[in-house]
């Protein structure tokens, strides 16, 4: 406390000294009185007045020294120096508005781009869930040889939760569509929900904004706790933020649920994209959707639960993994039928995300790398500017050193200037970032579900920007500060500014390094950007393998209102029949997934006669389930054999269609037609290959060609389907009549994601490559412009510094050509070294790109063009000042000294 009081008083004194306080005068008086008394005593002891005075000052330890020590104690000297430095820096920068604004603008572009990109990367990969202590969160997976990160069954989850010692809590949830209506007579709305374990809110540490969360035991008895917590968004949209909503009832899947709580606005679940509207206890899973297996609660092979745990204080991920692995082994023995060969692992939440969505994390890292290079180039530019200015300032620095300023103090002062520039650049950069984020926020994921890409300028971005600005200030300020304070005093004081710039050999060497670094960074940036852009352009031109025009999509899931299987089948049969009769409809089909749509699936199978890799007993192949109407609508060609038709029924022999890649890969040098595969596993039902579909794109436009299978809807019941309708003219015009047709069948069946295939295709398939290439292009351009300006500046400055030398050479007889060659030769050395290093680095780094995207990392065109273009710029940059130097009258150049 006493220390705090003292510190505050000193702070106050520092501030009041700024405002011209009277304390120093008071101490002068006190010292005067001290000396007077001392002198008086001394005289009384017989000294002469002069001797008395000298003795008194001597005993005091010097007048000025005492005053300084006193001042240091009275105020906070460090703060005082900092404020002095800051004021001085502001003054210096204001005296050089050209330098200051160039530097700030350059840094702002670099930092702003980084802040926007960080916000993007945060939204696609890195942002942790908005809960207390997110670093403690881990994910628990079960794992087999074929599925490395699998979900858990309800009984398995309860066992892990009960027996784990290293986790302080383990929650489970599964995301579902839910159909909500506020009264019996309201048509149900489709919302995105999560069925969650009872400890969900308490373990995550989320306090509801209103009402309560779930009790730990509310997830135990199936059907016993019809309660729901609604999201803040739903509370606002559907209940007008009415606090009396607690205790009100809503209908979910035809059953009454009591609203017990409203989740806080900041909480949006634990998934990056899916932000649940409704939270319902796990025990109510079957009540909100009849699509869930009746054996959900006791069958250990019904795995659909995602789990999030919290490490106990002091427990390590490694210890937790060891523990759950042991638990998994004991479950293998107790439940061999379902759990044999099934291990378990624990991963930190962020790591888990990176493993599950490696594309997102790698893509984000790639963009951050690119934008980091842009900032590096900006830093080199500003470092170079600073260095040029330091040469001009060396006289000022020499004078200050000569007058007794310490080198440390000068360095501190120059660094303060750099930091100030960095922070100013950061502040302006935030404005750029704000625009960038505003642009990114226009990205919409095309679905009715609460799935959102959420780029924002939040605390994390601000912190990142601050850190980047400070680091940037240090990065470009440190080297120039050290270099420019190492001055040969005598020479610096004697010489003029111009000769200093040209003559000192060491800064030239520093410049060589800068030029080289800049070139190398530019090559890496431009090559990477070039390679990526070429691939993305290729992807955008790629043929997806199906038509995207004239098709309307409408999705259904009758299990949300508890249709039984027979009811569901009848519903789809009726709606297909009815739609066919609508005017303007050419044909109609059904599919489980839309290619390049929001979701995709896969099928386990075993190919008869195909030798499996060691340790693997079945294949997991991307798959879709479609009816016979799908093919004519999508105009997805069957290369050989036939499509599904009326012959394929529930009771007829099972059939399957494979794509060309699948046929080539698993029946090499044979005809795949007529061959047999077994669905699920070695002992599963046999299906005959009746057709070979032309290859297409299935999940993303950037994917490498992958094997794919189609299964007939008639032989494989699926409740959630999308109706694909081929229109004779405008497909969007069919939405109204179709809605009427559905409501005529059953007004309660929710229909959702009603949009044209073209809209879906543009937003879902085309946007990622287009957006990425836009981002990479603009970053590449920004980097290139900065690099070219910087490169030109450095080379031109170095050459201009040699005017005097060139004058001498010409005076002693060198002709223009010799001079030009001389300048070019010197520049060429550095340029070539920089380019070679850059190409080498690019060669090493670009293959990392091939991981997330299907691209050619060693694109020869790009690797040739970029270095040539940069070499051209460097050449031009040295040529212009060299020509000017060569034109100079030798006498003028010589007289400059």
Partner 1 sequence: MSPKPDVWQGTLALMVLKTLETIGPLHGYGIARRIEQTSGDLLSVNYGTLYPALLKLEQEGYIASEWGVSDNHRKAKFYKLTRAGRRQVEKAARSWEQATAILARFIAPEESSS
Which residues contribute to the site for partner 1 (CB under 8 A)?
Answer: 1-3, 5-6, 9-10, 26-27, 29-31, 33-34, 36-38, 40-41, 59-62, 65-66, 69-70, 72-74
Tell me how far apart the alpha carbons of residues 387 and 293 are, in angstroms, rounded to a whole number: 71
Closest CB 45 distance from partner 1, rounded Å? 12
Q: Is the Cα torsion angle 405, 408, 411, 413 positive or negative in sign?
A: negative
Phi, psi of 693 (to 5 degrees): -85, 145
If the CB atoms of residues 49 and 62 are measured against partner 1, the closer one turns out to be 62
Closest CB 67 distance from partner 1, rounded Å? 9
Closest CB 33 distance from partner 1, rounded Å? 5
Query: Long-range contacts: 3-7, Cβ < 8 Å, 24+?
Result: 7/76
If the CB atoms of residues 24 and 737 are measured against partner 1, the closer one turns out to be 24
Phi, psi of 753 (to 5 degrees): 50, 50
If the CB atoms of residues 23 and 763 are measured against partner 1, the closer one turns out to be 23
Closest CB 21 distance from partner 1, rounded Å? 14
Q: Are strands 227-230 and 278-281 parallel, antiparallel or unpaired?
A: antiparallel
| 285 contacts 296 by C-beta, under 8 angstroms | yes
Closest CB 878 distance from partner 1, rounded Å? 59
CA-closest candidate to residue 701, choices 856, 596, 775, 549: 596
Residue 46 to residues 38, 43, 535, Cα–Cα distance (Å): 13, 5, 98
Closest CB 48 distance from partner 1, rounded Å? 20
If the CB atoms of residues 38 and 498 are measured against partner 1, the closer one turns out to be 38
Closest CB 82 distance from partner 1, rounded Å? 21
Closest CB 19 distance from partner 1, rounded Å? 19
Instruction: Specify the 3-state DSSP secondary structure of 45.
Output: coil
Closest CB 30 distance from partner 1, rounded Å? 5
Q: Where are the beta strands (DSSP E) in 231-373?
A: 249-252, 255-262, 278-281, 303-311, 343-348
Q: Are strands 686-693 and 676-679 parallel, antiparallel or unpaired?
A: antiparallel
If the CB atoms of residues 31 and 865 are measured against partner 1, the closer one turns out to be 31
Query: Cβ–Cβ contacts within 10 Å for residue 687, how many?
Result: 22
If the CB atoms of residues 59 and 87 are measured against partner 1, the closer one turns out to be 59
If the CB atoms of residues 31 and 879 are measured against partner 1, the closer one turns out to be 31
Closest CB 280 distance from partner 1, rounded Å? 54
If the CB atoms of residues 57 and 147 are measured against partner 1, the closer one turns out to be 57
Residue 428 to residues 105, 375, 699, Cα–Cα distance (Å): 8, 14, 40
- DSSP secondary structure code for residue 335 in this structure: -
DSSP letters, 824-864, are: HHHHHHHHHHHHHHHHHHHHHHTHHHHTTS---TT-HHHHH
If the CB atoms of residues 59 and 249 are measured against partner 1, the closer one turns out to be 59
If the CB atoms of residues 31 and 832 are measured against partner 1, the closer one turns out to be 31
Tell me how far apart the alpha carbons of residues 196 and 194 are, in angstroms, rounded to a whole number: 6
The residue to which tokens 């642009």 are assigned = 439
Q: Are strands 255-262 and 227-230 parallel, antiparallel or unpaired?
A: parallel
Q: According to DSSP H, which parts of 485-564 are helical?
A: 489-494, 497-503, 505-541
Closest CB 408 distance from partner 1, rounded Å? 23
What's the chain's length in residues? 897
If the CB atoms of residues 5 and 506 are measured against partner 1, the closer one turns out to be 5
DSSP letters, 547-594, are: --SSEEEEEE-GGGGT--HHHHHHHHHHHHHHHHHSTTEEEEEEESS-
Closest CB 418 distance from partner 1, rounded Å? 34
If the CB atoms of residues 69 and 647 are measured against partner 1, the closer one turns out to be 69
CB neighbour class for 757 (10 Å; exposed up to 12, middle 13-18, buried from 19): buried
Q: Is the Cα torsion angle 324, 329, 332, 338 positive or negative in sign?
A: positive
Closest CB 9 distance from partner 1, rounded Å? 5
Closest CB 18 distance from partner 1, rounded Å? 19
Closest CB 826 distance from partner 1, rounded Å? 58
Closest CB 28 distance from partner 1, rounded Å? 12
If the CB atoms of residues 52 and 227 are measured against partner 1, the closer one turns out to be 52
Q: Is the Cα torsion angle 601, 359, 196, 343 positive or negative in sign?
A: positive
State the helix-helix crossing angle for 803-811 and 860-887, rounded to 10 degrees.
Answer: 60
Closest CB 41 distance from partner 1, rounded Å? 8
If the CB atoms of residues 6 and 248 are measured against partner 1, the closer one turns out to be 6
Query: Cβ–Cβ contacts within 10 Å for residue 631, how many?
Result: 23
Strand partners, 779: none
Rounded to the nearest angstrom, the gap between the alpha carbon of residue 553 and the centroid of all alpha carbons in its chain is: 31
State the helix-helix crossing angle for 358-402 and 407-440, rounded to 10 degrees.
Answer: 150
Q: How far apart are the first and last CA of the chain?
A: 63
The CA-based angle 690-693-696, given to 5 degrees, is 160
Closest CB 25 distance from partner 1, rounded Å? 13
The number of CA neighbours under 13 Å toward the Cβ of 282 is 27
Phi, psi of 556 (to 5 degrees): -135, 155
Tell me how far apart the alpha carbons of residues 187 and 494 are, in angstroms, rounded to a whole number: 90
If the CB atoms of residues 26 and 565 are measured against partner 1, the closer one turns out to be 26
Tell me how far apart the alpha carbons of residues 112 and 108 are, in angstroms, rounded to a whole number: 5
């Amino acid at each position: 406390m006493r220390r705090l009081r003292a510190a505050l008083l000193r702070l106050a004194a520092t501030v009041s000294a700024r405002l011209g306080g009277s304390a120093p005068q008071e101490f002068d008086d006190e010292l005067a009185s001290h000396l007077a008394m001392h002198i008086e005593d001394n005289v009384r002891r017989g000294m002469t007045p002069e001797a008395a005075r000298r003795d008194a000052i001597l005993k005091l330890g010097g007048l000025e020294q005492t005053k300084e020590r006193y001042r240091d104690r009275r105020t906070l000297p460090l703060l005082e120096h900092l404020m002095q430095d800051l004021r001085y820096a502001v003054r210096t920068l204001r005296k050089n508005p050209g330098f200051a604004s160039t530097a700030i603008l350059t840094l702002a572009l670099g930092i702003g781009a980084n802040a926007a990109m960080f916000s993007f990367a945060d939204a696609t990969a890195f942002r942790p869930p908005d809960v207390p202590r997110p670093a403690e969160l881990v994910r628990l997976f079960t794992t087999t040889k074929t599925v490395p990160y699998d979900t858990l069954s309800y009984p398995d989850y309860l066992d892990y939760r009960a027996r784990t010692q290293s986790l302080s809590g383990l929650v489970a949830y599964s995301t579902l569509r839910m159909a909500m209506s506020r009264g019996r007579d309201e048509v149900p709305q489709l919302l995105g929900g999560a069925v969650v374990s009872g400890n969900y809110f308490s373990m995550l540490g989320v306090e509801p904004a209103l009402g309560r969360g779930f009790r730990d035991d509310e997830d135990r008895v199936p059907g016993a706790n019809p309660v729901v917590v609604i999201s803040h968004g739903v509370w606002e949209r559907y209940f007008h933020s009415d606090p009396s909503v607690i205790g009100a009832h809503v209908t979910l899947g035809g059953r009454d649920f009591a609203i017990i709580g409203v989740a806080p606005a900041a909480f949006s679940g634990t998934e990056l994209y899916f932000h649940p509207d409704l939270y319902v206890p796990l025990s109510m899973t079957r009540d909100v959707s009849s699509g869930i297996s009746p054996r959900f609660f006791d069958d250990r092979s019904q795995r659909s639960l995602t789990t999030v745990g919290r490490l106990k204080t002091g427990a390590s991920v490694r210890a937790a993994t060891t523990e759950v692995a042991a638990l998994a082994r004991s479950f293998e023995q107790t439940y061999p039928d379902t759990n044999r060969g099934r291990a378990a692992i624990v991963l930190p939440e962020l790591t888990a995300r990176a493993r599950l969505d490696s594309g997102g994390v790698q893509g984000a890292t790639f963009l951050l790398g690119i934008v980091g290079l842009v900032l590096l180039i900006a830093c080199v530019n500003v470092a170079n500017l600073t260095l040029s200015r330091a040469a001009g300032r060396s006289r000022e620095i020499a004078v200050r050193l000569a007058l007794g300023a310490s080198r440390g103090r000068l360095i501190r002062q120059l660094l303060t200037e750099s930091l100030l520039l960095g922070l100013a650049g950061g502040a302006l950069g935030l404005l750029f970032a704000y625009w960038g984020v505003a642009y990114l926020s226009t990205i919409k994921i095309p679905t009715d579900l609460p799935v959102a890409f959420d780029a924002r300028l939040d605390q994390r971005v601000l912190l990142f920007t601050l850190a980047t600005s400070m680091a940037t200030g240090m990065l470009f300020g440190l080297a120039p500060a050290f270099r420019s304070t190492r001055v040969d005093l005598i020479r610096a004081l004697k010489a003029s500014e111009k000769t200093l710039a040209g003559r000192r050999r060491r800064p030239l060497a520093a410049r060589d390094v800068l030029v080289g670094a800049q070139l190398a960074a530019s090559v890496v940036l431009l090559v990477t950007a070039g390679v990526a852009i070429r691939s993305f352009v290729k992807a955008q031109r790629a043929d997806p393998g199906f038509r995207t025009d004239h098709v309307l999509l409408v999705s259904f899931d009758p299990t949300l209102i508890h249709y039984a299987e027979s009811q569901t089948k009848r519903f789809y049969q009726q709606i297909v029949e009815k739609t066919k009769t609508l005017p303007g409809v050419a044909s109609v089909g059904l599919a489980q997934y839309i290619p390049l749509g929001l979701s995709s699936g896969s099928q386990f199978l075993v190919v008869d006669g195909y030798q499996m890799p060691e340790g693997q007993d079945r294949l997991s192949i991307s798959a879709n389930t479609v009816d016979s109407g799908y093919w004519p609508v999508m105009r997805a060609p069957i290369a050989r054999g036939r499509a599904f038709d009326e012959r394929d029924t529930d009771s007829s022999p099972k059939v399957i269609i494979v794509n060309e890649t699948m046929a080539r890969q698993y029946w090499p040098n044979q005809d795949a037609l007529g061959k047999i595969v077994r669905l699920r596993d070695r002992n599963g039902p046999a299906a005959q290959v009746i057709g070979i579909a032309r290859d297409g794109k299935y999940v993303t436009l950037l994917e490498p060609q992958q094997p794919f299978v189609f299964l007939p809807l008639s032989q494989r019941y699926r409740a959630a389907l999308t109706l694909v309708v081929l229109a004779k003219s405008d497909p969007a015009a069919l939405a109204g009549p179709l809605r009427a047709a559905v409501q005529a069948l059953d007004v309660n069946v929710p229909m959702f994601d009603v949009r044209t295939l073209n809209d879906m295709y543009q937003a879902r398939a085309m946007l990622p490559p287009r957006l990425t290439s836009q981002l990479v292009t603009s970053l590449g351009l920004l980097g290139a412009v900065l690099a070219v300006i910087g490169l030109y500046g450095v080379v031109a400055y170095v050459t201009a510094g040699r005017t005097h030398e060139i004058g001498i050479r010409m005076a002693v007889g060198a002709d223009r050509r010799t001079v030009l060659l001389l300048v070019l030769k010197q520049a060429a050395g550095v340029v070539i070294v920089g380019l070679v290093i850059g190409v080498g680095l690019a060669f090493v780094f670009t293959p990392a790109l091939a991981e997330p995207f299907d691209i050619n990392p060693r694109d020869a065109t790009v690797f040739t063009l970029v270095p040539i273009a940069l070499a051209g710029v460097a050449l031009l940059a040295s040529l212009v000042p060299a020509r000017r130097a060569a034109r100079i009258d030798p006498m003028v150049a010589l007289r400059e000294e």
